[in-house]
Structure 1
């Protein structure tokens, strides 16, 4: 592969992907709204750019085979704050991909696109959109756009509904939703090297014993996660105390994002849940 473009390259997940992606192509172009990181890979170039500005993003995709689109505000915010980076930014990526003949977009979607679905419903990748926040709504918008650009313009897309991607599971919710960085890298690799994908949705989740979603219909990607949050189950459950069966943060797939008022930080709510889980009581 000649060229891959990575957006959101300065984010936590983008940072972990730069090295593996640099090994999959002759030229990696990394971009983010933040300044360049220290130490680029030999075949990597970095461009600081705002996703909401088409004239800054579009030239980066010239000659690209694929775009790995991880750039966005990764939290719930007022709609006006998300409009540029999360909505318009996604449009800019797909439209630029179309104009430059890019073959495929690998998109960092989110579980929050279906965040108000019940945790115990056992949903699969055909679940209708059920966003829990404006942030989740942006993911629905981009997924629908990805499908439209595939059906109308022939650009393939793999939408990764990422769940809880951290070095280790942080709370009892993550016993089902955790995605390790190692499995994230495998997932993105399979989204890139699978010969044909059309329009595909797949959940970004590790091989957790308590996984609440079903990836069977995306099995053709060859994604076979190896890590399992159950290794941390005894410790996390012991510290969590007795859960409230009516707590929306536990009974909906979006977790704390499903419980917060629209426009208010879901990440802050996750931090509070994590603190409650990891701090002994009594």
Structure 2
């Protein structure tokens, strides 16, 4: 569908709209939605509204969400090496502002980008594939911030009646260069399919793992398949022969027991 055919399509506001994950998703989302991209950097994007703004500023968030039919909140500092102070300022506080502005505008649908790091301590053979219904066990301060994000999303859904979907994304928008990522890879195509499915569901609140149909099945996507209608098509095993050794420590998501094949 061309831009003219989308004049009456729902408007999705994407925070972090010029970032790594958004860049993967834009070709998929443009097929169905009008897009307003909000980012701290400035650039142009074909057929999209693009605004340079700090979404952590309540006034900016309020202005950016006017008229939105849905919000896709991707803006975040994604480093697992952050301190809690940085995570709170960059991720937790920003999510709070996003949800408060969404409530003010009565935006009916919110999709929040969470992470596998919210459940990172389960990334051990004894738990594979990890059930998303288990209690959160973050592996780092970044993961803890995502646990808080998910809880804020639930509170927002309960208080406002909006539909909130949290996606615990795996390796998204990065080349698959290391073997340890084979069990958590999310291909570009499957990322698009997943987010489209999340935007279209009317579930009151849900948390789902976002990985591809990987042979090395570390994360259970049953809820995403059944509740969102997510249909992953790609498998990291097709790229396994190109993946090399680990580049070094990240956080406890990749504890030494994980790579050795022993349980904790």
C-alpha distance in structure 2 between counterparts of 1:179 and 1:231, whole Å: 13
Counterpart secondary structure, 1:124: coil
- Kept after mapping to 1: 8 A contact 2:212/2:232: yes
Counterpart secondary structure, 2:237: helix
Map residues 18-57 of structure 1 onto 2, 5 A cutoff.
18-25=26-33, 27-35=34-42, 37-38=43-44, 40-42=45-47, 44-57=48-61
The Cα shift of 1:248 comes to: 8.8
Of residues 199, 208, 211, the one that matches 1:202 is 208
Residue segments in structure 1 that go unaligned for 5+ positions in a row: 242-246, 260-272, 274-282
Backbone CA RMSD of aligned residues: 2.3
Of residues 54, 67, 92, the one that matches 1:87 is 92
1:106 and 2:111 are equivalent in the alignment: yes
C-alpha distance in structure 1 between counterparts of 2:174 and 2:235, whole Å: 12
**Which one is further off, 4-13 or 15-24?**
15-24
Which residue of structure 2 lines up, in the alignment, with residue 213 of structure 1? 219
The Cα shift of 1:52 comes to: 1.7
Deviations 1:83-131 (A, max 9, x none): 2220111011111111101011111100011111242203212121111
The Cα shift of 1:191 comes to: 0.6
Residue segments in structure 2 that go unaligned for 5+ positions in a row: 1-8, 260-264
C-alpha distance in structure 2 between counterparts of 1:187 and 1:177, whole Å: 14
1:143 and 2:143 are equivalent in the alignment: no
1:117 and 2:122 are equivalent in the alignment: yes
Q: Please, what TM-score do these two structures have when normalized by structure 1?
A: 0.80
Which residue of structure 1 lines up, in the alignment, with residue 22 of structure 2? 14
Deviations 1:52-106 (A, max 9, x none): 2111111111111100110001113122222222011101111111110101111
1:62 and 2:73 are equivalent in the alignment: no
Deviations 1:206-246 (A, max 9, x none): 0100111112233221111111011122443xx549xxxxx
Map residues 223-238 of structure 1 onto 2, 5 A cutoff.
223-236=230-243
1:182 and 2:189 are equivalent in the alignment: yes
Residues matched between the structures, number? 244
The Cα shift of 1:181 comes to: 0.8
Deviations 1:167-187 (A, max 9, x none): 542211122111111110110
| Residues 1:192 and 1:124: Cα distance change in structure 2 (over 3 Å) | same
Which residue of structure 2 lines up, in the alignment, with residue 152 of structure 1? 159
Of residues 5, 11, 14, the one that matches 1:3 is 11
- Kept after mapping to 2: 8 A contact 1:33/1:49: yes
| Residues 1:233 and 1:90: Cα distance change in structure 2 (over 3 Å) | same
Which residue of structure 2 lines up, in the alignment, with residue 279 of structure 1? none
C-alpha distance in structure 2 between counterparts of 1:20 and 1:175, whole Å: 24
C-alpha distance in structure 1 between counterparts of 2:146 and 2:213, whole Å: 23
C-alpha distance in structure 2 between counterparts of 1:249 and 1:51, whole Å: 28
Q: Please, what TM-score do these two structures have when normalized by structure 2?
A: 0.85
